[in-house]
Structure 1
Amino acid sequence: MWHTGYGIEINLSLPDLGHPGRPELLGEITARVTDRDPQLLECLAHHKGRECQSETGGKSPWMFIRRGRVGGRRPLVASHLPVTHKPTPAESAQHKATKERVVETAAKYGLDSEAEVPVANRRSVTDAVVTGPSGLRIGWEIQYHHLSPSSVHRRSANAVEHGITPLWVAKDRTASLIDRAPWARVDDMPWKDIADGKEMVIRGGYRHLEVWKCVPSSDRHCLVSEGAGHCGAIHADWFVPALCVPEKKPVYIEDLVLQSATGESVPVYVPSRGNGRAGRHMWVSADDRTLWEEIVGERTPLPLASADEDDDVITFAEQEIDRTCRAGEEDWFVSDTRPIRDLGQTTGGITLPRMPVQGSRDPMRITPVERAAASAALGCPTWELGPCAGCGQLMRRYGRYAAMYCRVCRAVLNGR
């Protein structure tokens, strides 16, 4: 492409774009079109007086930069304006119906709500803001078409800066907003069904915390042992309602409108144990978040900075510049299908040491974190915990359903 400001050719396949003396060039050309001159970048064929295919297709010779996705690579690709996505009539109707449903639901519950709320000096508009009794503000962003990760981060950060908790709504499991901000996924429904009040189940983005003792009698598999083994430790992980044991009731969009505004449901960010730069955003009950923070011993704030993720790092093929306009040519540059981001799987969870042993000589060796985890795993208050008379591990020793020996020791004593 041609840079009209500097009067230079730009080769997007080179790390320095063909101009090693201009380190700022990449940032300039990848800026949003609204933040720069729309005619800054020109189709090179058009500039040279050759045929520009876009002109016959109803687009302009002015260009913008996007990131492609081919075989795991993320090359820069020049595309003709207009930059903004133009929703289809069906997308627009879905968007409007969902926004109106959020606002109407808020009104039904006696909550203050407002549609099309300007944020950050009117540079962005939140679809709907619902305000709870305590002043908690939830910014609903209905996003039924593709939006770049950087836009999700930027708009979420703007919302938080202005005292609004963002809540993004998607209908596609490949949506780039998933796990980049607090989110919820609903079914791809006709706008008429949305407007008529048909059930809108939250299919992704809302989870429940499950804590269990890893023993043979457990209904869940071990998180650390291969095969069907059991490690005797306490595991904690997050599950969608359908995968909870027993299965939890589904969460509907009306539930989330009310509970997010009242603080009964809250956003939480769980960093990936294998990759510190990645993690899961989810909506959870306030009680679950409190228990999780006790178990992990920390509270992880929602990330606001837009750090490059592994699948967003630009790659450069280092080829000769192509001076031919390729707009409209089939198979010239086909991006791979966007990967599924809402996998509906567990988050990786956390494993505490084997159920702590309550030694009579040192009763203080059990930490508050271990005691809280044991209480959750066994489903009893902390004051009902006590040592197994056989192995010394914490168990439900006092109160209702109390016993002297844990299940494992009872099995051993009974010869099983």
Structure 2
Amino acid sequence: MPEPFSRRLFLAAGVAAAEAAQAQDSPQRAPVVQQPYPQSNLPAATNPIRIVTDRDIDPNEVALLKAAAPNVEVFVCSNQDEYLDRVRDAEVIIGEPHEDILRRAPKLKWVQVSGAGMEWMDQALRNSPVVVTNCARTFAPGITETGMGLLLCLTRGISTYYMPQFYKHQLRPIGTPRSPDHIELAGKTMAIVGMGGIGSTMARRAHYGFDMRIIATDAKPLPRPEYVAELRTPAWFPEMIQQADVVVSAAPLTALTERMFNEAAFRSMKPEAFYIALSRGKLFDDMALVRALREKWIRGAGLDVFPIEPPPPDHPIYDLPNVVMTPHTSGWSPDRETRLIALYAENIRRYSVGEPLVNVVDKQRGY
């Protein structure tokens, strides 16, 4: 029998969110004027609650979803024909439905997206009355562990100097104890673009775990956490990255953020700075990054995402010694799946009684 759903498990996964909500007065912080977070505003559900998905959810996980509220029906569709048939009676969809699915689902009230990014959302869903929730923060633990791992590979010379030697059955030290071939993070400044789940978790870990100074931007009106020295609106971005030793892109992909890391941005960074890409690959111009790394505008880059995934075999990114990459797998782990199902279950419970849902997406902003 599957373990019963535990709200404690779900709430434990949101510790970073709770810490981020600790407001601290900051005389340096620029005012953030935005609309409030969207609310679900759905009445209590009628029974039965019919949930349809084409995602890979196993029977034990289905049992946890059914246990979240009375009279829940979950249909895991094994093929497209079954999915198209089932959505006709769906009140809830777990997945990423496009316009053709919306037309077939007249009873649909709520979409629980199975990922965090919303760039796939088409105009039909954006303009519909259907409430959309995503999985923001669910993947942040693994992603930020990978982010710090990529950074340490670069700062400690592991990927640049020592792994290439290791593959040749060689190992000799590079530089001297005094040379800047090995860099410590303590006291360095990390600039984070986007203080959502990834950005806020990265900030907390870099500050408390590595004694780094954190500065950041975000488009939403967030209180400044105690582990962030300065938090401002996106207008501060050009100035912020000039003073950073590490720049982390953790923003959602929207029309305003696409290719924001372009030639001008990379040229304005410190020559000794590192760029870490964790949220969406299309936030950066890959050829501008290649040039920045070749011509030493910046010192190195750690990438879990790329504009085209995977990069084609002839892409020049593969020839650069000051790059370390993973294939958009930073959010993977068994623990991540546990948090994912816990989030679905908590939202089903809330939906069943008319409580505000977790992670409601602002469909006009796109995140």
| Length-normalised TM-score, structure 1 | 0.25
Q: Which has the larger radius of gyration?
A: 1
* Structure with more helix by fraction: 2
